[in-house]
Structure 1
Amino acid sequence: MTIYLDSLDQAVEHILGHVAGTLRMGAPLGIGKPHRLLNALYQRIEADRQRRWQLYTALSLDPPDAGSGLQGRFLKPFLQRQFGEDFPRLDYVQAMKRDALPANIEVEEFYMQSGALLNSRQTQRGYASLNYTHVAEALAQREVNIIVQKVAAQAGSDRLSLSSNNDLTQDTVQAVLDRGLPRPLMVAEIDPQLPWMGGSASVAADYFDLVITPPPPYPKLFGLPRQPIGDADYAIGLYASALVRDGGTLQIGIGALADALCHALVLRHTDNAAYRRVLAALDPQLEQHPVVRSHGGLDPFEHGLYGCSEMINEGFKRLVETGVIRRKVVDDEALMTRIATGTANLGDLARLDRDGEYLHGAFYLGSPDFYDWLRQLDESERRGIGMRRISEINQLYGGHETLERLQRRDARFFNSCMMATALGAAVSDALEDGRVVSGVGGQYNFVAMSHALPDARSALMFRAVREHAGKQQSNVRWNYGHTTIPRHLRDLYINEYGIADLLARNDEECVIAMAAITDARFQAPLLEQARQSLKLRSDFQAPAHWCDNTLQRLQEKLRPFRHDGSLPDYPLGSDFTPVEQRLAKALAWLKANTASTPSRIKTVLHALTARSQDHEAFERMQLQAPQSLGERIEARLLALALRQTTPAASP
C-alpha cells in the first residue's frame, strides 16, 4: 500500500524506520535526483554515526561558484537569475568537494559533472567506471534496498511519470528481482515543475511505496546555461552534418559541438542555399569526400530523421521544431519490416502516422526554455516523444534486436572526446594519471552499436587544440596514458580541420588521415614519431594544403557567415541578456589573453590606456564608477576586452 506524505522529515523517519542497517540507495542522474530529500537524509545520517549510507548515483548537478574579480561580477547576478536564490545544493557534493564526507557516508558515482570533482580524493576513489547499460546490474550486485526519484504528477490521473529519468529505475528494479533479492523501497518525490512524459515513463502510483509532496516553494529545475559557439565548434558541426543521411537515425551528445551540429542540420534543411555556401567556403571538396558520398548528403531532409539518444537536449528541441526530426517508428516488427521492404499499405502508413514516435530518449537535461517547451507540448506532439529504459536506447540487446535494427536504419552516433591518438583510440572521460573528468556514460555503447549495425557510423568530435598552462597543445596525440574507446573500434573522427575515416584502415592509413586534421603546428612531430615507430614510410611528405590547418585560416573562411547571421553566437537561444552576451565574449577573450605570465603582463600594459563606450556593460558589472585601485584595473581590463571583441575590432 502506497503511503503519501507532505513532510520531508516524516519521509526521512519512514525511510530510516523501514530500512534496517545500511541504507544502500540508488538515485537517478541529473534533474531526477530529489535534492531536498537527499539533503534531509544527509543531515540526519551525518549526525548519527551509527547509521551507514551508501549512495549510488551519477551527474550530481551543482551550480558553479561565482568566484571573484570580473568573473564574480559577471556570474553572481546571472547565477541568481538562472538557478534562483533557493536552489538546494546537494550537501554530499559540497562535502565531497572538501573531501569531508563522514566515514559513515559513501558516495559512488559512475558519471560526474565535467571537471567539477577532478581534485576530490573521495570522489576519485569512489568513481565506478561503468558503461551506462551495465549500471542496473551493478546496482543489483550492490543489493540496493531503496531507490529515490523525482516524478511528475498530472491532475486527475492516478499515475505518476518518471519524466526526466526513465533510464535506470525500471531496469534496476528488474535486475534486483532477478537476483532473488527483495524489491527496493521505492520513494517518489513529486515536483510540480517536472514536465509530464507518458508512454513507458508513466507508471501506476502504487509502483512507489512512498510518495512525498513537499510544500512549496519549489526550486527551479537545474538549467544548463547555453554556451556560445566558436568558429572551431561550427566547423566541426558543419563537417558532421554532411555525414547524416536523410531518413536515418540520429544520436548526439551534449555541449557546444552537439549544438553546432544541430544548427548545421537545421541550416541544411531550412536554408539549403546558405548551408551550401558555408560548406563551400569551409571545404570546396567536401561534397566529394568519399564518406560524404557513401554515407552522408547535403540536401534538405525529405523524409526526416528519427532521434534515438540517451539524452534529449536543447538540440533535439530545435530539430523537432524545424522538421528535421520527424521520421516515426512503432514497436511492431512486422509493420517496420513492411516499411523497410516498401510493402507497407495505406493502413500501415496511417497507423505509423497515428501511433508512431519520432524521438526516443532515456533522460533529458537542458535550459529553462527547454523545460518550458516540454511542458507546453500539445498532446499529439508529446505522444511523439518516448522516454525509454537505457537498456532499450543504448544497445540492441534488450530483447527486441530485430525491431531496433529496423528502426535504427542509417544510424549516426555523434559524441565528443577530449583527445584522439594517431592510431585511432579516443580519450573522453579521464586524464593520463587516471583522474576522472566525467565518465564513460553511453559513449562506448554507441560506438559498439555502430559496428553492430551494417549501415551505421560512429563519429567522435573533438577540437584540434587545447590550451594547458598557457601553452597550446595538440589534441591529436601519438599516444596517451588513458583511453576510453580502443583503437580497434576506430571509425570517424571530426575536428575543425576535417573528417578522418579510420574504419577498417591499416595503421599507416590512420596516421595519415589523423595527421591531415592535425593543427599545422603539430603535424611534423606527429609524423616523425610515426616514422620512428615504424608506422609511416620514411619518404612520406605532407601535402602542401595541410598548412592551411590554422585557426586564423578557419576564421577567415567563416567570418562572412558569422557576420551575416548564418552562424550566430547562440544558435539555440541564450540564457544571457544581450549585454551579458557581449560581456561573455569579452571575458573569454580576457581569459585566453591572460593564461600565461607573459601574456598577462602584455594584456595589463595594453589595458592601461583602454577605453570603452559600452556604458551598459560597465553598469552590469558595477564598474561604472570604480573606486579602489583593483576596481580601476578591472575596469581597464574590461574596456580592453570589450574593444577587442566588438564586431568592428581589428583582427
Structure 2
Amino acid sequence: MRPAPTFLASLDDAVEVLLARVPGPLHVGAPLGLGKPHRLLNALYHRVAADPTRPLHLYTALSLDPPEPGEGLQARFLAPFVRRHFGDEFPRLAYVEALRRDALPAHVEVEEFYLQSGALLGSPAAQRRYTSLNYTHVARALAERGLNAIVQKVAREPGDAPPTRLSLSCNTDVTLDALDAVAARGLPRPLLIAEIDPSLPWLGGSAAVPTELFDVVVEPPGPHPQLFGLPRQPVADADYAIGFHASTLVRDGGTLQIGIGALADALSHALVLRHTDNATYRAVLRALGSPRADDPALAPFAVGLYGCSEMINEGFRRLVQVGVVGRKVVDDLAVMQRVEGGSADADDLARLARDGEYLHGAFYLGSPELYAWLRALPDAERRAIGMRRVSAINDLDGPEEPLKRLQRREARFFNTCMMATALGAATSDALDGGRVVSGVGGQYNFVAMAHAMPDARSILLLRAIRDSGGRTSSNVVWSYGHTTIPRHLRDVYVSEYGIADVRGKADEDCVIAMAAIADARFQAGLLAAAEANLKLRRGFTAPGRWADNTPEALRERLAPHRAAGALPDYPLGSDFTPVEQRLARALGWLKAHADHKLHIAVRAMTGAATDDFEALQRMQLDRPQGAQEWLQSRLLGLALRMTA
C-alpha cells in the first residue's frame, strides 16, 4: 500500500515539494483541457522561469485560453462577454501567453500533441515543439521522454473529509495509462500532485481513485476561478444540412461518437428532433432532398444509443436528457453475449439495469451548463456515465477486445475535417506547409476502429466551402499537401449537399461521389483534374441536380424551417444573451462582407439609423463620441438590419 499523500493548502508549497523531490530537469505532464491545473502550473512556471538551473519540459495538450477581445467592434462585443463568461479571476496560462509572444525562456520547453484550434498558428515555439501523435500513443511518448511528474486537477467526493478518494473527473484519459507505460519501461514512478477544484463535478466508478495514488494533494483556499466554459457557437444553414444528412446514418440500438463544434451540435439536434418530433425531422430531410426522408428505420429511437466517445460534450448532455442515449452495457463478456444473443435471463437484465452504463468518455469539456448538469445528476444517472482511459475508449486492442466489439455494435464515429480530396483523403489538423491548426487527437483511432469492425462506419463531416480574405474556396479539392486520413482508409463523407459513401470504391466512383457533395462552382474543376489524371472517363457529364449545390438554394430550402423554429441558431443553448445573439449575427455579416468595406461603409453612412437601441447600448455606441464611434454605430446598425 502506498503511503498517505502530503496535504497542502498553498500552491507555492506544492511547487517547493515538487522541486525538492524531483532533482534536475523537470519533465512534467499535465492533462489536456479542463483537467489542467492552471494555478499550479502558473506557480511552477513563474518559479522555474526565473531559475535557469531548473530546466522545465512540459508535456500537455489543448491549453485552453479565453479569447482575446481584439479591436474595434469585436473588442466592444467580446470584452464584456469574456469578463462575464470566464470571470475576472480566471488564470490565463502564463506559458501560453509566453508562446504567443515567442517569449519562452530558453530553459523552458512546452510540447503539445493537440493545440487549441488555430490559436498558435503564429507561434514558432509551439509549431516547432508540436508532436503529431494519435491520442492512444501519448502515454507511450510520455514514458519515452522520462516523465518524472504529473500535475492534475481533481474533484473531492462530497462529504468525504479528509478525502479518502479523489475523482479524475474530467480527465481519466492519460494519467493511469502513463503510469503503466512508465512502469513498463522500468523507470521510477513520477511524482503525482493533485489540485482539488471544488467546482469540478464528482464522478465515481472508474474515475474514482484512492487518495494514495497521489503524492501531494493541494487544496488552495478561495476564491476559486470558474471552470473553463467553451462558448457555444451558432449553427448555420450548412451546418444544419450536414447534421441532418449525417443523422440518417445512425441506427437505433447502435453506438455513437461525436466531436465538438457547430457540426456536432447540428447532428445532436437532428437526432433529438428525430426522436421527439419525427414529422418535423422528416420534413427537414425532404427539404434537403434526402433520399432517406421516408425510411421507416428513421423512426424515434426504441432501443436507444450507447455513447462511446473520447469527449463527452454538450450534445451528449442533450441526447441523454431526451432519451436518445440510453442503451446500457456492462463490462462482463458473458452477460453481453447473452444480451446480444437474445438469451439474457432476468438476472442479466437486472444487472444491466442496475450496473449498466450508457455513456463512456475519456474526458469532458463544454459549457457551464454541461458542468452544472453533471454536478446535479441523481446518483443513478451519474452511475450510468463511466469515465475511462483513452486506451479503453479509442482502441479495440487488448484482452477486452471481444467485449468492446459486442458493446460497440453498429458504431457511427463522427468527426470533422477541414478538407477532403476527390480521391478520399482527409485534412483535419494542419496546413500544407506543415503548420498545425489543432492536432490528430483521436480521429485516426476512430477511423481505424471503424474499418476493424464489420458493422461500424467512420463519417467525416465537412463544409463544402470556406470564405477567407474575400475569397471563396472549395473544401473538396483535387489534392492537398498534407493529409490526416489517407485515401485507403476512406469511408463516408458528409457535406451540406449530401453523403458520399466511398468505402472500398474504385477511384473513379470515389471522384464522382465526392464531386456530388461539392459546391456547384467547383465541380467542373474537380472533374477536369480527375480526367487529366486518368481517374475519370472522358465525356462524363455531371447530373443536372448537382447544379443546386449552392448556398442560396440551401438557404431557400431551410428558410421555412428556420422561420418555424425547428432550426434555432443555438440548438443546445447559448452562452450569449438575446441581444448578444443579435449582435453575433450582425458581426458575422460584417465579417462576411469585409471584402466590400467601402461599399458597406457608404451604405451604412447613407442609410437609416438602427432602432435597436439595446444593441447599441450593449456595444457602448448609443452615444457615439467622435467620427470613429459614429461610423462604428452606423456599420453595426446596417448589419443589425440586414440580419434581423
**How does the TM-score come out when normalised to structure 2?**
0.98
Alpha-carbon distance between aligned partners in 1 of 2:455 and 2:358, rounded to the nearest angstrom: 20
Counterpart of 1:303, as a letter, is V
Counterpart of 2:66, as a letter, is P
Runs of 4+ in 1 over 3 A off after TM superposition: none
SS of the residue corresponding to residue 371 of structure 2 reads: helix
Q: 1:602 and 2:599 equivalent? A: yes
Paired position in structure 2 for 1:516:
516
Paired position in structure 2 for 1:411:
411
1:244–1:297 Cα contact (<8 Å) kept:
no
Give the CA deviation at 1:284: 4.8
Counterpart of 2:566, as a letter, is S
Q: 1:106 and 2:112 equivalent? A: no
Paired position in structure 1 for 2:425:
425
User: Counterparts in 2 of 1:60-209, with a 5 A limit?
Assistant: 60-154=63-157, 155-156=159-160, 157-209=163-215
Alpha-carbon distance between aligned partners in 2 of 1:327 and 1:609, rounded to the nearest angstrom: 59
2:282–2:293 Cα contact (<8 Å) kept:
no
Paired position in structure 2 for 1:617:
615
Counterpart of 1:6, as a letter, is A
Q: Deviations over 1:21-65 (max 9, x none)?
A: 000010000010001111011111111011100000000000010
Gap regions ≥5 residues in structure 1: 647-651
Alpha-carbon distance between aligned partners in 2 of 1:287 and 1:511, rounded to the nearest angstrom: 25
SS of the residue corresponding to residue 606 of structure 2 reads: coil
Counterpart of 1:642, as a letter, is L
Q: Deviations over 1:545-565 (max 9, x none)?
A: 100000000000000111111
User: Counterparts in 2 of 1:5-20, with a 5 A limit?
Assistant: 5-20=8-23
Give the CA deviation at 1:277: 0.8
User: Which of 196, 203, 217 pairs up with 2:223?
Assistant: 217
- Among the aligned pairs, what percent are the same residue? 66
Counterpart of 1:632, as a letter, is W
2:62–2:116 Cα contact (<8 Å) kept:
yes
Paired position in structure 2 for 1:472:
472
The total of aligned residue pairs comes to 637
1:243–1:297 Cα contact (<8 Å) kept:
no
Counterpart of 2:261, as a letter, is G
Alignment RMSD, CA only? 0.9
Q: Deviations over 1:406-430 (max 9, x none)?
A: 0000000000000000000000000
SS of the residue corresponding to residue 316 of structure 1 reads: helix
153-162 or 51-60: which moved more? 153-162
Alpha-carbon distance between aligned partners in 2 of 1:553 and 1:174, rounded to the nearest angstrom: 55
**How does the TM-score come out when normalised to structure 1?**
0.97
Give the CA deviation at 1:348: 0.8
Counterpart of 2:547, as a letter, is C
Alpha-carbon distance between aligned partners in 2 of 1:540 and 1:94, rounded to the nearest angstrom: 54
Counterpart of 1:531, as a letter, is E
Alpha-carbon distance between aligned partners in 1 of 2:283 and 2:392, rounded to the nearest angstrom: 39
Alpha-carbon distance between aligned partners in 1 of 2:528 and 2:264, rounded to the nearest angstrom: 33
Give the CA deviation at 1:601: 1.3
Q: 1:354 and 2:362 equivalent? A: no
1:236–1:498 Cα contact (<8 Å) kept:
yes
Alpha-carbon distance between aligned partners in 1 of 2:611 and 2:21, rounded to the nearest angstrom: 65
SS of the residue corresponding to residue 552 of structure 2 reads: helix
SS of the residue corresponding to residue 463 of structure 1 reads: coil
User: Which of 231, 249, 255 pairs up with 1:249?
Assistant: 255
Give the CA deviation at 1:299: 1.1
Paired position in structure 2 for 1:388:
388
Alpha-carbon distance between aligned partners in 1 of 2:399 and 2:301, rounded to the nearest angstrom: 31
Alpha-carbon distance between aligned partners in 2 of 1:392 and 1:46, rounded to the nearest angstrom: 37
Give the CA deviation at 1:302: 0.3
Alpha-carbon distance between aligned partners in 1 of 2:30 and 2:293, rounded to the nearest angstrom: 47
Alpha-carbon distance between aligned partners in 2 of 1:134 and 1:398, rounded to the nearest angstrom: 14
Give the CA deviation at 1:286: 3.2
154-163 or 250-259: which moved more? 154-163
Give the CA deviation at 1:92: 0.3
Identify if the C-alpha distance between structure 1 residues 36 and 284 changes in structure 2 by more than 3 Å, giving closer, same or farther. closer
Counterpart of 1:501, as a letter, is D
Alpha-carbon distance between aligned partners in 2 of 1:217 and 1:102, rounded to the nearest angstrom: 30
Alpha-carbon distance between aligned partners in 1 of 2:34 and 2:523, rounded to the nearest angstrom: 43
Gap regions ≥5 residues in structure 2: none
1:392–1:398 Cα contact (<8 Å) kept:
no
1:318–1:572 Cα contact (<8 Å) kept:
yes
Alpha-carbon distance between aligned partners in 2 of 1:210 and 1:287, rounded to the nearest angstrom: 57
